[in-house]
Structure 1
Amino acid sequence: MKTLYLYTTLGCHLCEQAKALSWPVLEHYGYRLQEVEIADDDDLMACYGVRIPVVRREGLEQDLGWPFSQEELALYLSAGND
């Protein structure tokens, strides 16, 4: 199963919205969600601290930042999967 990383932190209500919106799309494309706590890593805080929630596909450097729709997430997950 492929992994979609959700960069998040404790108490992030937007992250909870992103997670809820993502579930149907993840299931459809065969992804599992792995939450990454950014507060535990200075580099992640510097990169994502003011941008969360952000998702990133395993093996892909490009990420998708909030706000995004289910349709935008579906396009992101399906891009390059020919």
Structure 2
Amino acid sequence: MVVNLYSKVDCPLCEKAKAVLQELQKEYDFQINEIDVYSDDALLEKYQLMIPVVEIDGEEIDYGMIQKEILRKRLLRELNS
């Protein structure tokens, strides 16, 4: 499974979100695909005020202050289906 993390350079919240995802990788088998919103104008327009954004299977799971428990619940649901 691949988890997309929409972020940007020099973003403290993005670094925290990545750390949360890396912690969850110790419990669950998934890859982190980090995407810089400044690499695509459409992504920048869509996410610039929301970043970081965590997306699993095309669904935005959480954004801004990423909460570990929200991600854990969604990962469990995805892995058990």
Q: TM-score range by the shorter chain?
A: 0.7 to 0.9
Identity of aligned residues (%): 30
Report if aligned partners of 1:64, 1:76 keep a CA contact under 8 Å in 2.
Answer: no
Report if aligned partners of 1:21, 1:70 keep a CA contact under 8 Å in 2.
Answer: yes
TM-score (norm. length: structure 1) = 0.84
The equivalent of 1:63 in structure 2 is 61
1:24 aligns with 2:6: no
Q: Write the distance in 2 (CA, Å) between the matches of 1:36 and 1:13.
A: 15
Q: What is the Cα deviation at residue 21 of structure 1?
A: 1.7
The equivalent of 1:7 in structure 2 is 6
How many residue pairs are counted as aligned between the two chains? Answer: 80
Query: Could you list the runs of 4 or more consecutive aligned residues of structure 1 that deviate by over 3 angstroms after TM superposition?
Result: none
Runs of 5+ consecutive residues of structure 2 not aligned to the other structure = none
TM-score (norm. length: structure 2) = 0.84
Q: Write the distance in 2 (CA, Å) between the matches of 1:61 and 1:70.
A: 16
Q: What is the Cα deviation at residue 76 of structure 1?
A: 2.0
Once the two structures are superposed, residues 7-57 of structure 1 have per-residue CA deviations (whole angstroms, 9 ceiling, x without a partner) of: 011111110011112212123220111110110111101111010000111
